[in-house]
Structure 1
Amino acid sequence: MRPWLKEMRDKQGFTQSQVAIKSRISRSYYTHIENGTKTPSVPVAMKVAEVLNFNWTLFFKNDSSLKEHKEQEVS
């Protein structure tokens, strides 16, 4: 599970469908990414991060905490 991703999405006021559309991926794929059952490819990670305004490399950090994710958000 990626609670930090859901929190970022909620903070932006987006639904999963809206993020998926803006990222040009299916809603079901985005749901899997947010639930942590799938890891996005680098291009998809970059698109989602651009939509939600954070550093895309956060998807690939296994040991980072929510606090660390918040500190690395792009302004």
Structure 2
Amino acid sequence: MRKWLKDIRLAKGLSQLDVSKAAQITFQYYSYIENGERRPSPQVAKRIAVALSFPDTWYRLLEDSNQEEECEKHA
């Protein structure tokens, strides 16, 4: 699960539907991405990042969940 992605979305008061519409992807696809079940293409990752106002770190969406967990352990 990409908890950090969900945390950013919730902090901005947005629903998954809001983000999916802004990123021009389906709600289902965004849900899969947020839950760590799918990995977006770089283009989709950039659109999600813009929708959530973190365009400088869009590449985080391309990282595997295991890598994220390891990074959090060392942070």
2:43 match = 43
In 2, Cα distance between equivalents of 1:28 and 1:4: 19
Structure number, greater radius of gyration: 2
Query: Does the residue aligned with 1:37 lie in a helix, a strand or coil?
Result: coil
Aligned-partner residue type, residue 6 of structure 2: K
Q: 1:14 Cα shift?
A: 0.3
Query: Does the residue aligned with 1:39 lie in a helix, a strand or coil?
Result: coil
Q: Which residue, out of 65, 68, 71, partners 2:72? A: 65
* TM norm structure 2: 0.81
1:14-70: CA deviation from partner (whole Å, max 9, x where unpaired): 00000000000000000000000000000000000111122101113324329x6xx
Taking only the aligned residue pairs, the percentage that are identical comes to: 36
Q: Select the structure that is richer in helix.
A: 2
Gaps of 5+ in 2: none
* TM norm structure 1: 0.81
Aligned-partner residue type, residue 20 of structure 2: A
Per mean C-alpha deviation after superposition, the further-off stretch among 1-10 and 49-58 is: 49-58
